[in-house]
Amino acid sequence: MFNLILFGPPGSGKGTQSEKLIAKYHLKHLSTGDLLRSEISRKTPLGLEAKKFMDQGFLVPDEVVIGMINDALDAHPDVAGFLFDGFPRTAIQAQELDDLLADKNTCIDVMLALEVSEEELIKRLVKRGQISGRSDDSNEMIIRARLIEYHKKTASVADHYQKENKVVIVRGEGTIEEIFNKLTDEIDRLMKQDNCL
């Protein structure tokens, strides 16, 4: 199995690049943002609870997203690997993910971390807000709250994987194709080695 985390602040291109990467490498895409939005659109109790947090730009409680990821891992036992998009976002989520993968005799091969300036992130999310209908992109105050939440709780998740030398930083500005090529160069290199020793 080859398991990768696509990491970065809101608007860094995780969702955009994930679509292209899963098409190339046939990995199972697990986006906690997409899973939560699907719960919201189906008006499930989990979705209604999550919406309260998301609409303010806050992270959804750990136990909710960990439960969703656990179910998703169990539902796809025969895949070539997983692409985690928007997960883990806290230190607790990272530890839980390691434990869940260890139970399946596998691990995270790499964290690819997209680096984008704050100014560019806000510009992208405001622009997406004009067309996406996503309530968390609907005004700049919520977007800024998401960035504060990222710096407070998520940015340090990279340290967790840095301790194992598993973080590769990729500049996330430029055309979508240029960034995709940088990501695939790293993945092609890493796929040739055993990263779970």
| Distance in angstroms (rounded) separating the CA atoms of residues 166 and 169 | 10
Which of 10, 101, 112, 168 binds ligand B4P (CB under 6 A)? It is: 10
**Antiparallel, parallel or unpaired: β 82-85 and 28-31:** parallel
Maximum distance among all Cα pairs of the chain, rounded to whole angstroms: 46
Angle at 133 (CA atoms; ends 131, 137), nearest 5 degrees: 90
Token representation of residue 141: 């105050």
| Distance in angstroms (rounded) separating the CA atoms of residues 72 and 173 | 31
In the chain, helix, strand, coil percent, each to 5? Answer: 60, 10, 30
Known catalytic residues are: 14, 89, 128, 134, 146
Residues 105-144 that bind ligand B4P (CB under 6 A): 124, 128, 136
| Residue 65 touching ligand B4P (CB under 6 A) | yes
Do 121 and 11 meet the contact criterion of CB atoms below 8 Å apart?
Answer: yes
**The one segment of 20-28, 54-62, 163-171, 187-195 that binds ligand B4P by CB under 6 A:** 54-62
| Residue 180 touching ligand B4P (CB under 6 A) | no
Which of 3, 5, 14, 161 binds ligand B4P (CB under 6 A)? It is: 14
Which of 5, 27, 30, 36 binds ligand B4P (CB under 6 A)? It is: 36
Rounded to the nearest whole angstrom, what is the least distance from the CB of residue 54 to ligand B4P in the complex? 4
Residues that bind ligand B4P (CB under 6 A): 10-16, 32-33, 36, 53-54, 59-60, 65, 86-87, 89, 93, 124, 128, 136, 146, 176, 179
